[in-house]
Structure 1
Amino acid sequence: MSLSQFSAPIWLIFLVVVAALLVAYLIAQRSKHKHMMRFANMELLERVAPARPGRWRHAPIALLLVGLLLFTVALAGPTKDKRIPRNRATVMLVIDVSLSMESTDVKPSRLVAAQTAAKSFVQGLTPGINLGLVAFAGTASVLVSPTANRDETKAAIDQLKLSERTATGEGIFTALQSIETLGAVLGGADEPPPARIVMMSDGKQTVPESPDDPRGGYTAAREAKAKGVPVSTISFGTKYGTVDIPNEGGGTDRVDVPVDDPSLREIANLSGGSFFTATSLEELNKVFDTLEEQIGYETTRGDASRPWLILGVLVTAAGLVTALVLRQRLP
C-alpha cells in the first residue's frame, strides 16, 4: 500500500511513537532483568519471587502495540477502489438489421441470437442508465429514445425487421443525435451524463461505399470521439456465413456474408471504444456481460478505514483481557 492510497498519510508519523513504545518496553524489560540478577542468593530469589508466566507475559503489550498500529493506519485514512452502480449515464444500443443477419452460421440465425443476447444485456444494465435503441440497414432509425424503461426496449428488440444494405455511419450518427437530444432535454447539469454507443454488426458497410465518406462509419467514429462518446463494436458472425437472396428469375442466389472485423475494429479505435468478436450466442452473451460491467459500474476511490478500526478494537480488547488473565492487572 503506497502513500497515495491514504487520504491523511500525515497520521502515519504516529508509527514512530508505536516503535518508540516498543523500544522503551524492551529496554525496561532488559533493565528489570539486570536488576534482578543483582541478587546474590539465586535460591532465595526463586523462593520469594512470584511465578512468571514465561514468554506469554509479553502478550498483552504486544497486542496493545499491534492495536495502536491498526488505529494509526485507520487514522491515516486508507482507501481502495470500489465498484458502484452508475446512476447517471446514457447508452445507445445500435443493431445491424441488414439482410446478412439472416445467416444461419450462428444458430438459429444471427438476428435471433442477437435479439436474445441484446435482451439479456438490456435486463442486466443498472437502473440508473438511460438506454436507447437504434436499428440500421440502408438507413437508421431510433426505435426507442433513451429511457430507464427496459420493457419498452426489449419489446422493440423483438420487433426488429431485416432490410437491404448496411449504412454503418448512419447508425452511429443517429445514436449521437439521440444522445444530444436527451442531454438537451435533461439540461440543468454542469455537463451531460456520460454516454456510450454499443454497436453490433456482422457485415461491411455498403452505404456509402467508403467509410471515410462524410456519412461513413469512420467519419461517424471520429465525430463520436470529438463528442466524447466511445463506440464499442461487436463483430458478430463467422467468415463462412451465407444468405439466399431472391433474384429476378424467381429463384435465389446464395451470397457470402463474412463478418468484417477490420472495419468494426477501426471504428472502435477511432472513437476510443472497445472491439469484440462473437461467433456464437454463448460468446455474444459473454461480450455483453463484459460490457455490462464496463458500462453499468464505475470505479472510485473510497474509504477503507472501517476494517482497520474493527481490528484495532478487537486486538486492543484482546490485549486488555490477556493482561487481566495472565497478570491480574492492566498493563
Structure 2
Amino acid sequence: MKLILQFLCLLSLTLGVLSELEITRRPTPSPYPDICSYNKDLFDDQKYLKSACFMEQKSTQRDAKHACKILGMDLFIMRDEIEASHLMDAAQEKYRSAFPGGKDLIWVNGNRASLSKRWQITDVEGRTIDRLNPNIPFYSNHESGNCLSLSPKYTKIYGVLPGNCMIKSFFVCEHQIRSQSPPKPDLSQCLYVRDVRRNKTLCVIGKNYDYDQARRACASNGMNLFMIDSAEIDEAFFEATEDFFLHYPRSSFWVNGQRNPQTNEWFVYRSNRVLQSPLYKEFEWIKLWNINGVSNGNCLRLTSQFGPYQGLGDVCDMAGYPICEFNGRL
C-alpha cells in the first residue's frame, strides 16, 4: 500500500510539471486585434515600422494617452515623415468619410524638445528640422500648440491650442505586435515595369491621379512613390525610362525627391550625362513655381508639356501618372 501511495504521489508531481511546461510553451495570443476597432501594420517598402491601433471611443488628448498606456501601448508617435505618411494612409482607409458633425480630428503624438518648442519631425535622412517637414504636403503650418491631431478628411496634421486639447476625439495607439506579412507588390496595374538598379524596380501605374492619390495608389499596391535622391539614381532612372517616355511626349508623372529645408527647392546632385533623346535632355530640377506670389510647389512632377522632360515643384492637385518603386528585381 505504501508503494502504491508513493507511486501516485510521484505520478501527480510529474503530471503537474508537464502541465506547467505546457502552459509556459503555449503562445500568448495578442490582445490588440480584439481591442482595436481597426488594426493596421505599417510597412515601408517591405520594412515593418509598427502597428496602428485605432480606438472607437472618444477621449480628451490626456485621457487618450492614459487609455493607450493602460492597454500596454502608447499614443501613436509620428517619429518621422515616413511614419506620418503611412499613418495618414491608414487613417484614410479607416475613415473614408467625415465624422458625424464634421469632427474628424484624431489624437496622435509627436516629438518636441519642450512645451515651449514647436513640434519637430525628422526627414528621410535623419535630420531633425524645427518645423513640420515641407516635403510632405499634408503638414499644416500650425506647428505650435500643446497637442497634435490628424485629420484624414482634410489630409492635415495640426498643432492644437491648449483649450482644444479637452475636446473628445477618436485616437490611435501604437504597438509592436505584428500580425501581417509585408504586402507583395501588385504589378497588375503597371503600364511599365523595369529594374532600375540592384534591388530597386519601378512601376508606372496607368492612371492619372493628383499627388496624394498617386502616393496612395503606390501604397495600396505594396509600393512607394519613386524616390530620386542622388545623381546615381537620377541617371539609372532615366536609363530605365528613356524608351518608355518616348511614347508619352506630352505627359506628366509623379515622383519624389530631395528638398532643401531652408529654401524649399527641389534638388539632386548633378550628373554630367546628357541623354540624346530628341524629346528631353538631361533631367532639370528647377525652382518652385510661384502662383500669385505664393509658393505652391509642394509636390514633384515630371513633365514634357513645355519641351524636354523636367522636374517641377508643382501644385499637388495636377494630374499625372504615379511612378512607384519596390525593393527587389523582376
What TM-score, normalized to structure 1? 0.22
What TM-score, normalized to structure 2? 0.22
Tell which has more relative contact order, 1 or 2 (C-alpha 8 A, sep 6+). 1
Structure possessing the higher radius of gyration over alpha carbons? 1
Query: Which of the two has greater strand per residue?
Result: 2
Query: Which of the two has greater helix per residue?
Result: 1
